[in-house]
Amino acid sequence: MSPVWLEEQMTRLRAAFVAGRMPHALLIHEAPGAGGEWLAYWAAQLVLCAHPQRAPCGDCPACGHVARRQHPDLMVLGPQERSTQIRIEQVREFAADLSLTAHQGGYKVGVLSPADSMNRFAANALLKTLEEPPPRSLMALVASVPSRLPATILSRCQRLRVPPPSRALAVQWLTDTRGPADWQDALAVLGNAPFIAATLDPATIAQTAREMRHELEQLAGGSGDPAGSAERWARSEPALRLTCFENWITERIRRGLLGEGAVAELRASTHSGASGLTIRGAFELLDGVRELRSSLDAPINRGVALEALLRRMAPRAAA
């Protein structure tokens, strides 16, 4: 089912295709979980559909092959196996395939997701293809943090913004596509990120959120184990756990507290009290969590980075 909140972007792409003005390169800047990758494959169906006058029809073999990622003129580029990066060898192979004649005499399409996981060498290798794209080719780059890409890449792509949907639209889409469930509670944890929620079990999201809340309260009170928690979180659903961590800090900032009661009062002063955190420190911790969450596809030691954040929460002994 097509996401209603993407209708404007779909209309723009269809109009460009009908008018013969389809760009060679799209940069789909998505809010995480808002459907940027879905839109990239929809664009692939648009140009590869066997019925251009009503493309994408969704019924022809070409549309079906794209949906299954099996179309001979569709290339999919992303981190391989346990890697967190798109590497130069992949980009070189991608560029070579894109330059070949299409099997079905039409477009050649490449979907790069997440494009902001390309390392510097891969991005430089892609630049030449962007500067001299093969005829009747479409490259769709999906990124939630485009600032990680070189300016030379950004300047050669037509940007298409995919903001998060409203909560009501997200819940309705999840209900229609996945069936009735506690989607409101799931999105309360994840934010309005329906495509992330659709890959997870709502009960698991709720259970993880409860476990995280309990563990964070212990850490803030000084009874937790930062190293042990960081190791577990890095191994199991780190993105979901960091989202829970971010929500927990935000909630405490809004309440003016970090933890329960007098355990860790957030002070407006710039020096630390028994909590080890000031108001400024709490916002800095929030920034650190967000930065780590946006860098999970980078080659970093997640456990070490998480432990460093958790140790900043620990109460300090009074001087």
pLDDT grade for 54, boundaries at 50, 70 and 90 = very high
Q: What's the burial of 91, exposed, middle or buried (CB within 10 Å: 0-12/13-18/19+)?
A: buried
pLDDT grade for 278, boundaries at 50, 70 and 90 = low
CA distances, 190 to each of 114, 143, 175 (Å) = 19, 18, 16
CA 23 to chain centre: 23
What 3-state DSSP class applies to 149?
Answer: coil
Domains observed in the chain:
4-163 (3.40.50.300), 201-311 (no CATH)
Single-letter amino acid, residue 236: S
Is pLDDT above 50 for 271?
A: no
CA distance 125 to 123: 5
Predicted local distance difference test score (pLDDT) of residue 109: 97
pLDDT, tens digit (0-9, with 9 covering 90-100), for 107-165: 999 999 999 989 899 999 999 999 999 999 999 999 988 988 999 999 999 999 999 99
Average pLDDT of the chain? 88
Q: Does 199 or 104 have the greater pLDDT score?
A: 199
267, HSE (Cβ side, Cα atoms, 13 Å) = 13
CA 36 to chain centre: 9
Rounded to an integer, the average pLDDT of 24-30 is 97
